[in-house]
């Protein structure tokens, strides 16, 4: 009979995988890792979707260019059935050209779909610092990509918490621990149906 550790390895090998590629909002910036919405999602998956696991490959400060450069290696390493792409906020905060961000996200989506993964694209909104055209173009970019590639889509990660300053750390950018379950529940509306 196989040893318990071998059986655990075999079970892990058979588990279907959700890969999250995001920035600090998914990397639990300023919190302990288990407090972040991705870790909370992994707990829910363990309870409600046996046979699935969540891998968090998010990096604080990550841009769409970073994600586009890493996506092929992450797909090869984890062979995910579902990939969650939560990138773009750092591009927007730096005022990077929208065409560049769009091309990077497009590459991530097409690479993931080419590897057989279902995609959940999570959109972001940014403050109006760079003017209305840029702000609106940034927001619309995610919707257009989701429609073009027929991906699952969540228009704005922070939607359930954005209106209350108390939900954010002192930097006004990163959610506090108490807000993370709301983000988990918000993402779950689109992620849950993909885990089939």
- The residues annotated with a catalytic role in the active site are 24, 171, 174
CB 128 within 8 A of CB 135: yes
Integer Cα distance of 188 and 191 in angstroms: 5
Tokens read off for 57 = 């490959």
CA distances from 24 to 44, 82, 196 (A): 21, 20, 28
CB 41 within 8 A of CB 54: yes
Q: Quick one: which H or E segment has residue 21?
A: strand 16-22
3-state secondary structure 116-148: CCEEEEECCCCCHHHCHHHHHHHHHHHHHHHHH
Integer Cα distance of 97 and 14 in angstroms: 41
Q: How many Cα atoms sit within 13 Å of 130 on the Cβ side?
A: 17
180-191 and 37-48 helices, crossing angle to 10°: 50
**DSSP assignment letter at 175:** B
């Amino acid at each position: 009979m196989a040893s318990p550790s071998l059986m655990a390895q075999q079970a892990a090998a058979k588990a279907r995988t959700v890969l999250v590629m995001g920035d600090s909002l998914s990397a639990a910036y300023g919190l302990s890792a288990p407090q972040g919405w991705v870790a909370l999602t992994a707990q829910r998956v363990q309870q409600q979707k046996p046979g699935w696991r969540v891998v968090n490959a998010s990096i604080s400060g990550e841009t769409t260019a970073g994600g586009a450069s890493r996506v092929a290696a992450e797909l090869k390493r984890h062979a995910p059935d579902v990939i969650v792409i939560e990138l773009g906020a750092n591009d927007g905060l730096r005022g990077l050209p929208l065409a560049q961000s769009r091309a990077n996200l497009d590459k991530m989506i097409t690479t993931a779909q080419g590897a057989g993964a279902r995609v959940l694209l999570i959109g972001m909104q940014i403050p109006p610092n760079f003017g209305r055209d840029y702000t609106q173009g940034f927001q619309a970019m995610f919707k257009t990509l989701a429609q073009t590639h027929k991906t699952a889509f969540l228009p704005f990660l922070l939607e359930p918490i954005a209106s209350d300053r108390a939900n954010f750390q002192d930097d006004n950018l990163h959610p506090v621990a108490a807000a993370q379950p709301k983000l988990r529940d918000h993402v779950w509306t689109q992620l849950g149906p993909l885990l089939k």
